[in-house]
């Protein structure tokens, strides 16, 4: 049985959501963050050498990394859903945005989170450079969602599942006002109306209101 090991308020919410969209059979095991450090508890870190979320187990398999897990689940349970094939006109856009989530958007948010916690002066050149990269990333997302309903195009895909965490839950760790990004805000309302997303967030983090505004 596929088991999604979910660390509260983490990227592992993607895996629950993907399973819900595909109606794939899975078990859910939830873990709470350490209240003092806000990090994963020892039992979660013991699942995989990287000690970070997400992690799934499937029989003897232990697999980490959001993108790898998403591709594994879609290959096993997707039946061609949520991933346009190479003959689809949105194939290239799907690939780009699927990998943009953890290749560009999430890393730059993480770096800004760390720099903010260091308390650097506002004029620090490293801080300014990272803030600029963050704004550029959000500008690119805003532009894309102004020309398409979803990241890959007109259809909802796994690229959306990969991207939404950075636009929502990640803002608990790096507060960011989305008022300058009306296309992102409209997109998040569309996402929030999806029954599978609602189920996933309720199962994974029942005490948290999704950050859709």
The alpha carbon of residue 60 and the mean position of all alpha carbons in its chain are separated, in whole angstroms, by 25
Query: What is the rounded average pLDDT of the residues 24-52?
Result: 95
CATH 3.40.30.10 fits 2-82+198-204, yes or no: yes
Of the pLDDT bands very low, low, confident and very high (cuts 50, 70, 90), residue 24 is very high
Which are the contacts of 174, defined by CB distance < 8 A and separation ≥ 6? Answer: 109, 110, 112, 113, 116
- CA pair distance 95, 67, nearest whole angstrom: 11
Rounded to two decimals, the pTM is 0.97
DSSP state of 63: E
Query: What is the rounded average pLDDT of the residues 117-141?
Result: 97
pLDDT at 99: 98
Query: Mind listing the pLDDT tens digit for each residue in 182-193?
Result: 999 999 999 999
Query: Mind listing the pLDDT tens digit for each residue in 52-103?
Result: 999 999 999 999 999 999 999 999 999 999 999 999 999 999 999 999 999 9
CATH domain 91-194 topology = Glutathione S-transferase Yfyf (Class Pi); Chain A, domain 2 (1.20.1050)
The answer to whether domain 2-82+198-204 and domain 91-194 are alike in fold is no
Domain boundaries, given as residue ranges, for the chain: 2-82+198-204, 91-194
């Amino acid at each position: 049985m596929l088991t999604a090991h979910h660390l509260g308020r983490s990227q592992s919410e993607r895996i629950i959501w993907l399973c819900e969209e595909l109606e794939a059979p899975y078990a859910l095991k939830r873990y709470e963050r350490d209240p003092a450090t806000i990090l994963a508890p020892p039992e979660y870190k013991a699942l995989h050498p990287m000690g970070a979320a997400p992690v799934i187990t499937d029989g003897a398999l232990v697999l980490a990394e959001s993108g790898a897990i998403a591709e594994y689940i879609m290959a096993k349970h997707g039946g061609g859903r949520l991933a346009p094939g190479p003959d689809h006109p949105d194939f290239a856009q799907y690939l780009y945005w699927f990998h943009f989530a953890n290749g560009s958007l999430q890393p730059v948010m993480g770096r800004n989170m760390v720099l903010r916690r260091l308390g650097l002066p506002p004029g620090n050149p490293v801080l300014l450079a990272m803030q600029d990269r963050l704004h550029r990333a959000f500008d690119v997302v805003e532009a894309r969602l102004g020309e398409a309903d979803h990241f890959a195009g007109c259809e909802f895909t796994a690229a959306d599942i990969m991207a939404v965490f950075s636009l929502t839950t990640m803002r608990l760790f790096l507060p960011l006002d989305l008022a300058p990004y009306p296309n992102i805000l409209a997109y998040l309302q569309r996402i929030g109306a999806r029954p599978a997303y609602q189920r996933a967030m309720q199962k994974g983090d029942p005490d948290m209101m999704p950050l859709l505004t």
